[in-house]
Amino acid sequence: MNIAVFASGRGSNFSAIVKAVKKGGIKANLSLLLSDNPQAPVIGRAKRAGIKVALIKREDFSTKDDFEARIIEHLEENKIDLIVLAGFMRLIGPGLLKKYKGRIINIHPALLPSFKGTQGLKEAFNYGVKLTGVTVHFVDEEIDHGAIILQKAVRIEENDTLETLEAKIHKIEHLLYPEAIRLFTEGKLKLEGRKVGISNP
């Protein structure tokens, strides 16, 4: 099975996935990093790990459809079976969603369906909830809406700052995302509408 990671930023989750693949925790090929940001540190991480990089900038295309058509070309060239979003700061359009239905997953720094969107962690902290966490889910047409694969709670302590909470969230992400990918690559996830069944985890 061939995996592509889409990322626009630092790439800490990308590195956690690379580590899991190299240690044999994920028995699949991490074949491609796709980024839309030429300044993204994740590109350097991929090159150091010996993973192929595709840089596709939205501004190079007149329409989003053309942009995604080029992405699909790269995915087909590399025979990608699973798309893993790891800080990819663009919404996935209908063409890509249709072609890879049930094969695109995302990680979110909150316990969905609460605190959706790009500021989920900060909003949970500012709201004053005592419990937040991490969610891995399938991607569908709505933002942070697809069927949930795994979740893990993180308690917000009285002395936590946004920075310490972020560090705790990242620590959980780096464990939970490789586990969700492992379950997918081993054929242990069954997507039925808005529910995911996990067999013999």
What is the spatial distance between Cα 170 and Cα 89, in angstroms, rounded to a whole number?
Answer: 17
Give the ranges where the chain is alpha helix by DSSP (H). Answer: 12-22, 41-48, 64-77, 94-99, 120-127, 162-185
**What are the DSSP E strand ranges found in 79-125?**
82-85, 104-108
- Are 144 and 120 contacting, i.e. CB atoms less than 8 angstroms apart? yes
Token couple for 37 = 């940001």
Is 174 one of the annotated active-site residues of the chain?
no
Question: Could you say which of 108, 145, 170, 174 is catalytic?
Answer: 108
What is the spatial distance between Cα 22 and Cα 134, in angstroms, rounded to a whole number?
Answer: 24
What is the spatial distance between Cα 156 and Cα 164, in angstroms, rounded to a whole number?
Answer: 9
Residues with a catalytic annotation lie at 108
